[in-house]
């Protein structure tokens, strides 16, 4: 239904939790390297619990490899704190991809340029705060996309 794409995730517990969200929601997970951990990391599997085995996971050596892949979704939405279009203003469709940068730096400028108008932000209602945890952001975005598609 929806594809989740993580660009160079750094924290195994976040990726494990995101894997669990994907398994629960029936989403495919795409991991763009380099990763800040190994897939067999015990923390990754611990956070994802036994759900990791039920996931459809694709790995890519870099951004270009992902872009050229036949498995990637055609329409992507880059989630970023630098976007102006909110989650509520975005119209999601079946087979869309939700793209997230990593925990430390977000997505690189080249991906922001590539995404153009397909950049989305989760609305913030409290000034002075930077961002949500990556796994929390993925959960919010995933279920809003599913809600729209299922309506």
pLDDT tens profile 83-128: 999 999 999 999 999 999 999 999 999 999 999 999 999 999 888 8
Report pLDDT for 145: 98
pLDDT at 48 over 80: no
- In this structure, what token pair is assigned to residue 142? 């995933």
How far apart CA 103 and CA 8 sit, in angstroms, is 9
The structural domains of the chain, ordered by start, are 3-150 (3.40.1280.10)
Task: Supply the pTM of this predicted model.
Answer: 0.94
Report pLDDT for 60: 98
- In this structure, what token pair is assigned to residue 136? 């929390």
Nearest CA-CA partner of 15 in 71, 1, 42? 42
pLDDT at 51 over 90: no
Considering the chain, what is the average pLDDT of its residues?
Answer: 92
**pLDDT (mean) for 41-68:** 83
């Amino acid at each position: 239904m929806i594809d989740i794409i993580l660009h160079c995730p750094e924290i195994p517990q976040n990726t494990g939790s995101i894997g669990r969200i994907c398994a629960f929601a029936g989403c495919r997970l795409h991991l763009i390297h380099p990763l800040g951990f190994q897939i067999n990391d015990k923390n990754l599997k611990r956070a994802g619990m036994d759900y990791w085995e039920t996931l459809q996971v694709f790995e890519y050596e870099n951004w270009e490899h992902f872009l050229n892949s036949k498995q990637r979704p055609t329409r992507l939405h880059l989630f970023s704190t630098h976007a102006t279009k909110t989650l509520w203003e975005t119209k999601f469709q079946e087979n869309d991809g939700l793209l997230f940068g990593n925990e430390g730096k977000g997505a690189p400028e080249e991906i922001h340029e590539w995404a153009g108008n397909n950049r989305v932000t989760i609305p913030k209602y409290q000034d002075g705060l930077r961002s949500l945890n990556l796994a929390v952001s993925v959960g919010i975005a995933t279920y809003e996309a599913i809600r729209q598609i299922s309506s």
